[in-house]
Structure 1
Amino acid sequence: MMRHKTNSDPINRNLIQVKYISAGAAWVSRCQPNAYHIWVPQEYSTHMDASLCILSPRSVSDHKMQSTAGYSISFSEEAILVLRCQHLQPFGAVSSLASGERVAIADAVSHRAMVRTLEKMMEESGRQDACGTDRNLALLKVLIVQISRQYALRKAAAHISAQGRIVERFTELLCSQDCARHAVKLLADELAISPMSFNAIIRNTLGDTPGRLVQHSLLQKAKHAAMHSQESMKEVAARLGFSDMAHFSKFFSAGAGMTFTDFKRTYQHF
């Protein structure tokens, strides 16, 4: 059944924006916060200037691009949850990718596949109807998988430092169902490092404090439950470790910009 779309529908307005940009330097200035922003070069090259650039939410202002033609795509964190892709790095509840880090594209075939996906998305973006939106969501999932594969190849080939292992373990705990709320204490105990050292490593690598990243991870889990489960707000709050319903309600509304009930009503039919 085709969904009825209204002007206030966040799927139409906010989830996905894709365009071709002739000058990479203009890309960062057009980015908006609280969304993922990805730049894919128009031409394949082994030079790092022609690699993927991924800006995670809240990192937009930290980076500038060189003047290289390419494709820009931005999408909200809600898109990751709608598509159930929060298990794919570097698009997890907390990305293990350093802010603005480049990811080399393995080969020309992989690059061409990503460009084709983006070109199809640009075509669908012009349709302005429910079918076009549905197809773009499906294409976005394809692109996320393509990028995740490139990230996995990069990770397998790279030498991971001691600090890198700490960051990876932290993101693993945040993505787990039961450990996110206690990730900071669990990891500090597990690695026998001081809280000050741990906080410095995470903040320098991921661009935020461990405490705020834990809160963000909990919010993403709550959003995912609102979208894809039949759990009540009380059940979600209890599962995520909130004993006070009023506290959870305030926490969710502040992070999502709407109440749990309104968020569920807005997104659950996708």
Structure 2
Amino acid sequence: MIRDKQSGKPVTHAKQAIPFQQNNLPFEIRTIDWMEKNRQQNQSPHRHNYYEIIWIRQGSGMYLVDLEKHEVAENTVCCAAPGQVHQLKGGEQTQGFVISFNNDFLLLGQDKSAVWLNERASPSFSNFSVARLNDETTIEVDHLIQKMVKEFDNFFLLRTEILLGFFRILLIYLARQSDSSTQAVNQTRNVDLVKRFFTIVENKYISLKKVTEYAEHLAVTPNYLNEIVKKVSGFPASHHIQQRIVLEAKRHAAYSDSSMKEIAYNLGFDDIAHFSKFFKNVSGQSFTDFKKQAVYPFNQA
């Protein structure tokens, strides 16, 4: 139990910010309207333990992902990775589909399309969140979605295999819309090491804050890890560790009423002064200033 250093009283976390919404199905496709009525998932910013693709077929609105807002319209695809805080604020006429799937389903298709989504849906590899499809791609995607809905709603022989086949094709179409889709996915040892590094960061950023600790988990030297991560991602390992911690701090500051002390403790900092200095050095502004500016994006005038 964590206690306040001055009073000795337990630090309460009555509002654990942004809890994870769970889904045990490996794959699911529903209409936006069905998700609104049955899951009520877009009433406030939220996050999942699974991937989500939202296909807006008709209407317009706003899509929030972490601390960014994106205007969306018809034929827009929105993508959220596990842990990303997001919310779709659509109008009354907004129609489309929500595709949810977990890592187990994604790993069934270990090809370039699966690798594309894994790298671009992950906030560690890319900031890809929203893409507007061209007319030709829209026709193909719409056709695929209808086939997926029909297959999902029935329980025919080899249902999972057929859904996976349609899903692979969908990812390929989305890859063609990506600015970087012409770049070949190079599955080298370096890329594999970096992917394992980001996986550990995502799972251990609260308890592990030094490059040396991650290097030990990966059985490499800290200098080598920094060098390879920088070569693949453009930034050293330390940068990504710090950014992940600050991202979570910003999420809690923006989407909960937690105090700086509570957030600091939740993120593994015993010294609130240390956390305050760390936050300012990494983000470029004080926690207090960020908290004052951080309001729910959809409530802004």
TM normalised by structure 1 equals 0.44
Quick one: higher RCO (CA 8 Å, sep 6+), 1 or 2? 1
Q: Between Structure 1 and Structure 2, which shows a larger proportion of helix residues?
A: 1
Higher-Rg structure is 2
